[in-house]
C-alpha cells in the first residue's frame, strides 16, 4: 500500500512504520528508525537490568527447547528475576490457555495457533487475560517471601 516497512534481517522481524512513501523521503525515515531503534535498545536494557519482569515470547511454530532456555539465560544475565513467558501453539495434551512452569526459570502457555486473527473476539481477550493472570501467579509463587526473589523453577 505504499507504506515503508522496516525489516530486521538479524532477527527476521518485520514492522510497519505507518508512513507512506509520498509522506517522507527514505533517507529521513531511515534516520528516524535508526534513532528509534537505538532508544528502544537502551530502554530494553534498562528494563532488563532494573526490573524483574515477565517477557512474553510468542512463537508461531514450535521452537527447540534449547533456544527458549538460551533466551531465559540471556534475560537472567541482566537480572535473575526476569522470566520468559513462552507462548506456544496448543496441542491436545495442552489445551488452549494452559499455563505451567517449564523449568529453568521459564513459564509456558499454550494458545490457539492463529490467535492474532482471533484477537478481535471477547473470548480471545478473556483467554489471554486468564493466561497472563496465571503466569503472574506462577511467577509470584516462585519469589521468596522475604522480598528476595528467585526465578520460577
Instruction: Look at the block and give the residue holding cell 522481524.
Output: 13
The neighbouring-strand residues paired with 100 are: 108
Q: Which residue in 93, 108, 97, 112 sits closest to 138, CA to CA?
A: 108
List pLDDT tens digits, range 8-57.
Answer: 888 778 889 999 999 999 999 999 999 999 999 999 999 999 877 899 98
Distance CA 54, CA 145 (A): 18
- Under a CB-based contact definition with an 8 Å cutoff, are residues 104 and 86 in contact? no
The whole-number average pLDDT for the span 109-126 is 73
Amino acid at each position: 500500500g505504499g507504506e515503508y516497512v522496516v525489516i530486521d534481517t538479524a532477527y527476521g522481524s518485520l514492522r510497519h512504520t505507518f508512513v507512506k512513501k509520498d509522506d517522507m523521503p527514505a533517507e529521513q525515515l531511515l534516520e528516524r528508525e535508526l534513532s528509534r531503534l537505538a532508544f528502544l535498545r537502551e530502554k530494553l536494557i534498562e528494563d532488563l537490568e532494573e526490573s524483574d519482569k515477565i517477557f512474553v515470547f510468542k512463537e508461531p511454530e514450535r521452537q527447540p527447547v534449547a533456544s527458549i532456555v538460551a533466551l531465559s539465560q540471556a534475560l537472567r544475565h541482566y537480572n535473575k528475576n526476569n522470566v520468559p513467558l513462552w507462548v506456544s501453539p496448543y496441542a491436545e495434551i495442552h489445551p488452549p490457555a494452559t499455563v505451567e512452569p517449564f523449568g529453568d526459570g521459564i513459564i509456558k502457555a499454550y494458545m490457539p495457533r492463529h490467535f492474532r486473527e482471533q484477537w478481535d473476539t471477547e473470548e480471545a481477550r478473556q483467554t489471554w487475560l486468564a493466561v497472563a493472570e496465571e503466569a503472574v501467579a506462577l511467577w509470584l509463587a516462585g519469589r521468596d517471601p522475604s522480598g528476595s526473589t528467585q526465578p520460577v523453577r
